[in-house]
Structure 1
Amino acid sequence: MTWRADGVPRSERFDDIYHTESGALAQSRHVFLGGCGLPDAWAGQPRWQVLETGFGLGLNFLATWQAWRADPARPRMLHFVSVEAHPVSAGDLLRAAEAYPELAALARELAAQWHGLLPGFHRLAFDDGRVLLTLCVGDVQPMLRAQRFEADSIFLDGYSPQLNPQMWSADTLKAVSRFARQGTRVATWTIARAIRDALQQQGFTVEKRAGLPPKRDCLSGVFAPAWTVRRRGPAPERIDKPGRCAVIGAGLAGAAVAASLARRGWQVTVFDAADWPASGASGLPVGMLAPHVSPDDALLSRLARAGIRATWGELARLLEEGRDWRASGVLERRPDGDTRVPAGWTSAGPNESWPANAGQLAAAGLPERTPALWHSRAAWVRPHRLIAAWLRQPGVEFRGGCAVARLATRQEGGWQLFDANGERLIDADRVVVCAGFESGRFAPALPLQPVRGQVAWGPMPADADLPTTPLNGDGHLIAHVPVERGVPIWLAGATFGRDSTALEPTQADSIANRERLARLHPAAAASLAGAFERGDVDTWVGVRCASGDRRPLVGPIDAPVAGLWACTALGSRGLSFAALCAELLAAQWHGEPLPLPATLAKALGTQRL
């Protein structure tokens, strides 16, 4: 895009301007918010869900967000879903908003998350996770097919129908109509006869409104078909009155689910057999948050990328960088020498994983020609700190030393939880099982596999020369991690013992971790040799939970009564998947926009197995 001398932004691709000369913010407020009756229409609602075709410079989103912030009667949650085939730069977002002081702070928050916008869905969270922007990067019709929810407001935006006919085609407007429910309002700046006719054919009653000069008119309407609308497949569930939920398990999965549901108004009680949260596999002293990159951008790569974005926002919002986590980047050694990234990433703008350069290798203490990838959007994390932060959220209660032994349905609906002595622990409207490999006690049909892991860790020796950059590949190494008292720690590992639940450290795994470290970073292994020989190295053992296909499980558990769900089998990527899976579960309960394309959401569902 370019900027004209009068400050109006122009798209060279479509040979059109982004907004009228009378001003983008005035257009957003008059045409789109005013055309959909906002903010009055959302007063007292539990959530409001907007679908937009054409994100552009983001001013419709910023205007809607600003109106939500300013309204004391605002809904608890604001969802804004927008399709954009060609995202602009973060700098252009800021420049477009700089003329409007009331949007400046919001624009800076948006620009801070405006990165890595590869084709697909990107969930950006603001205002403690209560304002959620789902940016769908790609052509409009495939993106609309990949999403599913009922919109309360629809903003039809984009370049003129003559210059961008695909955005305004009858097929596109038909796809848009699938998001409408009875009473959904639609607004747009164009009054082209073909657009009006197409909307009416899809069930919208439309009318011209006074436009914003120099445009004389604009268009608004309401979805009120004269026929019975038949949707393909069952209507999405939509809970509007949250109640009480019990979560079994206080690891990453359980804490993330509790926080996501509490944001939506649920009263959540988290039960764990241990006295403290993060007492199982999530209690690793320090973990790594790093993407999975494959040349064909395989399913796991796309899931991990979405998960890291979700987790990153929570880390930045809840934890102290440098103490609880660090946006350090991660260097990944590729034992097979394959440092390819997917074709097309170059044209998608700035990205976050590339073949490592000589400077990055040197900083990590590796030879210049070492085959490796550099992940800039990667970090080390103290998992127990993130879990504690999630469990501190309003509406969440933790009950430790409280093992759930049995579930029973209530005659009036919902569930009762009992301990081993038959004492009733709680009555709940819904239950979510997040108990790792122990989840099988409540969901025996799920194919769960325990995977034992052992790591080596300890205080950094005074003479140790360890890289400040975390490394992964065949195992991983994290060093210079601060602790509450004493010297920083390091950690290396981990082993994978399938179908093992033994928690005692083994000498064989200790040897395996030393050998793995020697392959990953020979100089670090030599630097720590004395600590191993003196016995100054601690071990930690945890048992992860994996599914049959190594993907998380999120969805209902087959039970006589509805309301029993699972969020489990996060495997060795709990930090990558916990926040994403929790948001997917919450979206499915409330009929919200999906944080993932429908095919990826299905790939995580319990129904697949």
Structure 2
Amino acid sequence: MTVLNEYLLSQHHISEQELGTQLSKLHSYQCLTLGKSPFDSGMVCLRLWKLWQHVRPNNFSRLHIIATAKEPLSQQQIQEVLAEHPEYDDLAQQLLAQYPPAISGIHRLIYPSERLTVDLCFGDAVDDLMVGQPPIINPEPVKSESLSFAVIGAGIAGLSIADAFTRRGYAITLIEQDEPLAGASGNPKALLLSKLPKLERVSNNLQTLGALSTARWWSYWAPNVVTHSGALLEASAEDLEKIKNYPDDMVQLLQPEDVQTRMELITPHAQMFMPRAIVINPKAIRDHVLSSAQVTLVKQHVAALHKSPDNHWLLLDSNGVCIAKKTHVIIANAKDSERLCPTLPPLTVIRGQMSWIESNSSSDFALGYGGYAVNDGEKLILGSSFMRDDMDLTLREGEHQSNLELFKQAFPKNAATLPHTHSWQGRVSLRALPRDSMPIVGEVSQMQGIYALTGLGSKGFSFAPLCAELLAAQIFEEALPLPTTLILALSAHRFIKKERIRKPYYTPPQDN
């Protein structure tokens, strides 16, 4: 009896041969989910992966493994264990390439060319798994020919949705009134860096989980998206208390002299070095997504949505001409989402101005403070202003100066070497936020078949890929990549007040 066969019989009451037969008979668009597999050293995942490679049919079917570890091993520990099994070296290297830090949370690993998804549920996230969930979920095949999808908006939200759906084999019509990345997602670089929450709260912190997901996926999926890894974040006394129990591959404390030695930066303050923070090139994501034969880009303005008698949605231009007819429409066009979907929560517009100048430093770096700075050897990029309810797209000298002042407060000696702001260049974009600053993800109220991924604010590159994966999982009824409490916090219905049924006041009987 093989090790895998023994495991499957003891944990899932199915033999290796029976599971292999089920996998080999999967239809296109069907996903077999193997739930609650103890992760331990990772060898169970690798053996299941090897079985999948041997029996998988040549179609759009997928395997989804959910593995759990209440006390997860670090990447170094996993690497040492896997080194003892050289016969799995190729798969082990792929597993390690996406292996997350050993902190609580649902960490989704996605291998598109393998048609494989692995959810590593660490720490507190193990408790959030559905009680009584069957170990093997093998849904009925989806009739893909009856489903059709359009996405309105080609910023990072729309591109992430297109990517999530095409990885599942579905075609997407991506509709953009301007050019892809014309809005807030179109800055030269994006820095994914955030303050860490208390460790016991990290499994429900969307920004941390989202930034880790974006870094993990895009580092693996495309070689030219991530342009720099690691960033400094100014440390307050509160931050120093929060990071005490985090692993070193999440955060390290650097003293000012260490910062100067490593990055040619002079600061009077201690800094947190975040190894998993990244700088990404948005255009590389755009090019990767649009290169898919499953994505059709249509440059049109969608003026209205109408439901047809055959239960499809008609996407109409300003003259009432039909641009597309689809069963499902996903709205991903920031503030303009409200115009198409009046039942969505209201969004506030935030103006942000980024500044850049020619770099005077040969050292690449990424910094977070009251603002942020990215130096790529060619440009020093500083950002970004935050002007609520301001829709003016004109560059302002005053906001260049504000960006400089924030940099000066954190790194005064480096700021003193920069030229006057008269010579600076920049870009203005508008972001949209709901009142609780959390994205809106899910089906729109009173509009069956219309979904939204919007309200990402300035954190689109941290939020969008993971939220798009959540939206796809909801639509196709798959295992979800986030805990229940966080999913409810993102719901498009979360601001709808429940109608209270008022009890009638007591009326005493009247004397005759």
Match of 2:162 in 1: 258
Superposition pairs for residues 221-260 of structure 1, below 5 Å?
Answer: 240-242=142-144, 243-260=147-164
| Shift, 1:94, TM fit | 4.4
Report what 2:45 is aligned to. 61
- Which amino acid is 2:461 matched to? L
Q: Secondary structure at the match of 1:340?
A: helix
Post-superposition CA distance 1:454-509 (Å, at most 9, x none): 0111332xxx237522111111111125xxxxxx2221011001111111112321
Verify: 1:345 aligned to 2:241, yes or no.
no
Deviation at 1:26, TM superposition (A): 6.1
Matched residue, 1:283: 186
Q: Which of the numbers 533, 550, 563 marks the counterpart of 2:449?
A: 563
Give the whole-Å Cα distance in 2 for the aligned partners of 1:278 and 1:316. 20
Post-superposition Cα deviations, 1:129-181, rounded to whole Å, max 9, x if no partner, equal 73111111126xx724x235xxxxxxxxxxxxxxxxxxxxxxxxxx3x33468
Q: CA deviation at 1:246?
A: 0.5
Tell me the amino acid that sits aligned with residue 460 of structure 2: G
Is the aligned partner of 1:575 residue 2:456?
no
- Aligned partner of 1:267: which letter? A
Contact 1:416 1:425 in 2 (8 A): yes
User: What secondary structure is seen at the aligned counterpart in 2 of 1:305?
Assistant: helix
**CA–CA separation in structure 1 for the residues paired with 2:234 and 2:79:** 37
TM-score by length of 1: 0.74
- What amino acid does structure 1 have at the position aligned with 2:361? D
In the TM superposition, residue 412 of structure 1 has moved relative to its aligned partner by: 1.2
Q: Is residue 2:395 matched to residue 1:505?
A: yes
- Kindly tell me: are residues 294 and 105 of structure 1, through their superposed partners in 2, closer, same or farther at Cα, counting changes over 3 Å? same
Partner amino acid, structure 1, of 2:487: A
Shift of 1:48: 0.7
Which residue, out of 120, 123, 126, partners 1:143? 126
Pick one of 206, 212, 217 that aligns with 1:309. Answer: 212
Residue 511 of structure 1 deviates from its aligned partner by: 2.1
Identity %: 26
1:511, 1:125 → 2: CA distance? 42
Shift of 1:352: 0.8
Distance 2:293 2:248 in 1: 37
Q: Which moved more, 1:78-87 or 1:119-128?
A: 119-128
Q: Tell me, what secondary structure is at the counterpart of 1:594?
A: coil
- Is residue 295–residue 340 contact of structure 1 (8 Å, CA) maintained in 2? no
Shift of 1:416: 0.8
Kindly tell me: are residues 368 and 344 of structure 1, through their superposed partners in 2, closer, same or farther at Cα, counting changes over 3 Å?
A: closer
1:263 partner letter: R
The residue correspondences of 1:413-428 to structure 2 (distance < 5 A) are: 413-428=311-326
Q: Does residue 553 of the first structure (1) align with residue 451 of the second (2)?
A: no
Determine if contact 2:36/2:135 at 8 Å carries over to the other structure. Answer: no
Count of matched residue pairs:
485
Q: 1:587 aligns with which of 470, 473, 489?
A: 473
TM-fit CA distance, 1:112: 2.6
What is the CA RMSD across the aligned residues, in angstroms?
2.7
**SS of the counterpart of 1:403?**
coil
> SS of 2:442's equivalent?
strand
Between 33-42 and 422-431, report the one with greater CA deviation.
33-42
Q: What is aligned with 1:598?
A: 484
Q: Secondary structure at the match of 1:527?
A: coil
The corresponding residue for 1:87 is 72
Aligned AA (1:328): S
Structure 1 residue 378: Cα displacement:
0.9
Matches of 1:65 and 1:53 in 2, distance apart? 13
Structure 1 gaps, min length 5: 1-21, 149-174, 186-236, 482-487
The aligned amino acid for 1:291 is: S
> 1:478 aligned to 2:374?
yes
Give 1:597 shift.
1.2
In 1: Cα distance, 2:279 partner to 2:253 partner: 20
Structure 2 letter corresponding to 1:544: R
Please state how far the C-alpha of 1:453 moved relative to its aligned partner. Answer: 0.3
- Once residues 315 and 296 of structure 1 are traced to their aligned partners in structure 2, the CA distance between those partners, rounded to angstroms, is 25
Distance in structure 2 (CA, Å) of the matches to 1:55 and 1:580:
22
Cα deviation per residue 1:2-43 (whole Å; 9 max; x = unaligned)? Answer: xxxxxxxxxxxxxxxxxxxx8745644776662581111131
Aligned to 2:173: 269
Q: How does 1:7-18 map to 2 (within 5 A)?
A: none
Q: CA deviation at 1:82?
A: 1.5
**Contact in 2 for aligned 1:433/1:439 (Cα 8 Å):** yes
User: Residue 551 of structure 1 aligns to which amino acid in structure 2?
Assistant: M
* One-letter amino acid of the counterpart of residue 42, structure 2: G
Say if 2:365 and 2:376, in contact at 8 Å, map to a contact too: no
Question: TM-score, normalised to structure 2's length?
Answer: 0.87
Distance in 1, matches of 2:346 and 2:382, equals 29
3-state SS of the aligned residue for 2:213?
A: helix
2:158 and 2:174 in contact (8 A); partners too: yes
Matched, 1:390 2:289: yes
Q: Secondary structure at the match of 2:208?
A: helix
Supply the distance in 1 between the matched residues of 2:384 and 2:356 (Cα, whole angstroms).
11
Distance 2:157 2:482 in 1: 18
Cα deviation for residue 381 of structure 1 reads 1.3
For residues 404-443 of structure 1, give each alpha carbon's deviation from its aligned partner in whole angstroms, at most 9, with x where no partner exists. Answer: 1110112111211011121110111100000011111112
Q: Secondary structure at the match of 1:328?
A: strand
Q: 2:381 aligns with which of 487, 491, 497?
A: 491
One-letter amino acid of the counterpart of residue 302, structure 2: V
Distance 2:194 2:115 in 1: 26
Asked if the contact 1:406/1:419 (under 8 Å) is kept, the reply is yes
Classify 1:343/1:272 alpha carbon distance in 2 versus 1 (closer, same or farther; 3 Å).
closer
In structure 2, what is the Cα distance between the partners aligned to 1:343 and 1:436? 34
Residue of structure 1 in register with 2:99 after alignment:
114
Confirm or deny that 1:325 pairs with 2:259.
Answer: no
CA distance in 1, matches of 2:126, 2:350: 37
The whole-number CA distance in structure 2 between the counterparts of 1:129 and 1:538 is 44
Change (3 A) 1:295 1:360: farther
Is the Cα–Cα contact under 8 Å of residues 299 and 600 in structure 1 kept in the other structure? no
